[in-house]
């Protein structure tokens, strides 16, 4: 129940919504109509639900709220990337990004307001975690970024990555519920294979995803190939060390067969030497069909790290490939508007 006394209508399942309509002496088929308006058509007000009578729309407006998110501020990068800050119904802000390439349009979405993990190279890690996002707030990001893709590119989203603000696996239920709506024929009907959930490494939740046989892909933000270094830059490693994570990822792959990627930000003089590449290759040999995305560090004012130069980066990649590791250099997009990897922090 909201402070206004109204119920959040998108918090109900279809069956629960039918029960609510029964209590209003309305037939179940009208609840199904409303459900379609909410999810498939992404209606943000009852007035938009033109297949309903005006009197019913007024009743619904009195009893329920639709706590949709709104575009607060939009920035356009020189490379075509679009970063949006979105305002939630309670006034908090989050950020999401549209990343266009020749053959893709990717939405990078947030799962929490702030973050509690304190990764040292990430601007969001220097914020407090205020709260988890609800499933509908995650869903709305995809809807709004898809709308931006249609307007700016003339084509819809092809991919969704949970790589924005927050740790998705610390908001597990809402993330899973949002993905269920995003992939459902009654929602956006985007293929699970086009969705990647990125985690800093919560081993028990990776195993839970395996047990539940999720259909989306997994990315692990590794960023260091030994525990001592990873403890320093990612304190979560102290409770979820590399051996534990490798076991969890093997279980995930065994149960789902889904793609797993290591994300690895190169920090100059910290984790980018030949010995680091050798150690990373050794970890890769322990996880089936693993791929590595090598990411350049994007400067943030809170941290003193610097970017690895091109020669050192290329040697790192060459070492991996000599060890038969599939590695890609992921170009950072939207750096000029603080929209690149590690830069989201509600600054603009």
Q: What is the DSSP letter of 333?
A: -
Q: Is 284 a catalytic residue?
A: no
Which one of the listed residues 95, 137, 263, 296 is annotated catalytic?
A: 95
Indicate if 95 belongs to the active site. Answer: yes
Question: In this structure, is the dihedral angle defined by the CA atoms of residues 267, 268, 270 and 272, taken in order, positive or negative?
Answer: positive
Q: What phi and psi values does residue 65 have, to the nearest 5 degrees?
A: -120, 155
Q: What ranges in 184-273 are assigned the alpha helix state H?
A: 203-211, 227-233, 242-256
CA distance 95 to 112: 10
> CB–CB of 171/111 below 8 Å?
yes
Tell me which of 119, 122, 284, 341 is the catalytic residue.
341
Nearest 5°: the CA angle 26, 28, 33 is 100
What are residue 131's DSSP bridge partners? 113
Residues known to be catalytic: 95, 341
């Amino acid at each position: 129940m909201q402070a206004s006394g109204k119920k959040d209508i998108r918090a109900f399942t279809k069956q629960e919504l039918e029960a609510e309509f029964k209590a209003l002496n309305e037939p179940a088929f009208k609840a199904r109509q409303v459900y379609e308006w909410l999810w498939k058509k992404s209606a943000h007000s009852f007035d938009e639900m033109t297949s309903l009578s005006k009197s019913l729309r007024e009743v619904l407006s009195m009893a329920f709220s639709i706590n949709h998110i709104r575009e607060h501020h939009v920035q356009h990068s020189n490379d075509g990337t679009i970063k949006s800050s979105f305002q939630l119904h309670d006034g908090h802000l989050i950020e999401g990004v549209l990343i266009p390439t020749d053959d893709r349009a990717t939405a990078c979405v947030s799962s929490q307001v702030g973050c509690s993990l304190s990764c040292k190279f990430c601007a969001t890690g220097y914020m407090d975690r205020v709260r988890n996002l609800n499933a509908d707030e995650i869903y709305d990001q995809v809807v709004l970024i898809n709308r931006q893709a249609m307007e700016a590119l003339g084509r819809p989203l092809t991919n969704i990555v949970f790589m924005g603000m927050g740790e998705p696996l610390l908001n597990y239920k809402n993330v899973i519920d949002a993905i269920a709506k995003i992939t459902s024929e009654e929602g956006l009907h985007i293929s699970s294979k086009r969705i990647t959930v990125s985690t800093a490494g919560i081993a028990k939740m990776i195993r839970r995803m395996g047990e539940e046989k999720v259909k989306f892909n997994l990315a692990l933000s590794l960023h260091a190939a030994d525990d001592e270094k990873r403890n320093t830059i990612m304190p979560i490693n102290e409770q979820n060390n590399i051996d534990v994570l490798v076991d969890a990822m093997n279980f995930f792959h065994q149960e789902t067969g889904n793609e797993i990627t290591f994300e690895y930000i190169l920090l100059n003089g910290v984790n980018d030497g030949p010995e680091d590449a050798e150690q990373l290759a050794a970890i890769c040999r322990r996880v089936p069909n693993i791929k590595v995305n090598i990411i350049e560090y994007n400067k943030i004012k809170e941290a003193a790290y610097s970017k690895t130069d091109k020669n050192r980066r290329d040697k790192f990649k060459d070492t991996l490939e000599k060890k038969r590791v599939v590695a890609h250099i992921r170009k950072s997009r939207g750096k000029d508007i603080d929209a690149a990897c590690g830069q989201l922090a509600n600054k603009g």
